Amino acid sequence: MKLHFTQLTLSLLLSTTLHASVVIVNGLTHAHTIRSVDSKTQGVIRVKNQGAKESRILVYRQDLTSECGKSATYPETGSHSRSLGNDLKTNVDEKLLAANEEYELHYSIELDKAKAAAGSYWEVVMVEVAEPVQEQAAQGIQVNSKVRYAIQVIVDVGTYEGPALTYESVVFDKVSDKLSLLKVTLKNNGTFSARTGVILEIYDAAGNKLKATEPTNRMLYPRNCSTFEIPVTDLPKGKYDSVIIADTKKDLFGSNIALLVE
């Protein structure tokens, strides 16, 4: 495992949950590996209706992109060269789920020969609950909100290579007097996707570790960015030496940071 480091200096200036009856049981990320485009693969998304009445789901596909400095978007399939496009097919477009029913949504992937280059190809399977969830607002106004799940489906072609990551931006946002968010934007400069965990270690002037955060995990797609939000709590005013570490399970990418809390 290689360790890569950069140097940054930052100043920190202190200044209704929905309850869906339909849930995805076996995770929102499904990854597959094939040797070449001559291979096929398939998978299952388990959907369960936990409610006491029937519920209809709609199933469709979209791309997922996350350009640096922009929010993630879900354009039509085939919007970029690494999209699975129509190579990903599902067995149904909609399904009526009985109360307490668990359903196996099957999908298959047969890559087009044009996708011969090694690397990751991906898109999302959208599972949308047709009936809106009703919320009761504080003023007594009823609001309807749709529930949609974006299940990421990734296919790695060829021998996996850990991608090089770069730190595109690191900023602090104050939430309250005791809580701020360290927002770390990383870019994947490789051709393979990487499930990446980011932690922050904070040290005092004597080099003693004061705290280390729990890993914040996100998927980084080739030539795309992702922003990791790390809570920083109860940190007294002062200057601290800190380290951000991004772990792809193949390589570590670190950045030394001088934190000034005022």
List pLDDT tens digits, range 150-196: 999 999 999 999 999 999 999 877 777 777 788 999 999 999 999 99
> The domain 2-15+162-261 belongs to what CATH superfamily?
Immunoglobulins (2.60.40.10)
CA distances from 87 to 109, 158, 253 (A): 5, 17, 34
- pTM of this structure: 0.84
Mean pLDDT of the 18-29 span: 85
In this predicted model, what pLDDT tens digit does every residue of 51-100 receive, in sequence order?
Answer: 999 999 999 999 999 999 888 999 999 999 999 999 999 999 999 999 99
Look up the CATH superfamily of 22-157.
Answer: Immunoglobulins (2.60.40.10)
Q: Parse the chain into domains and list their residue ranges.
A: 2-15+162-261, 22-157
| % of the chain beyond a pLDDT of 70 | 87
Q: Which residue type occupies 71?
A: S
CA distances from residue 132 to 68, 86, 98, 129 in whole angstroms, order as listed: 32, 28, 17, 7
- Cβ(85)–Cβ(75) below 8 Å: no
Q: Residue 5: pLDDT above 70?
A: no
If one counts every other C-beta atom within 10 angstroms of the C-beta of residue 48, the result is: 16
Same CATH fold assignment for domains 2-15+162-261 and 22-157: yes
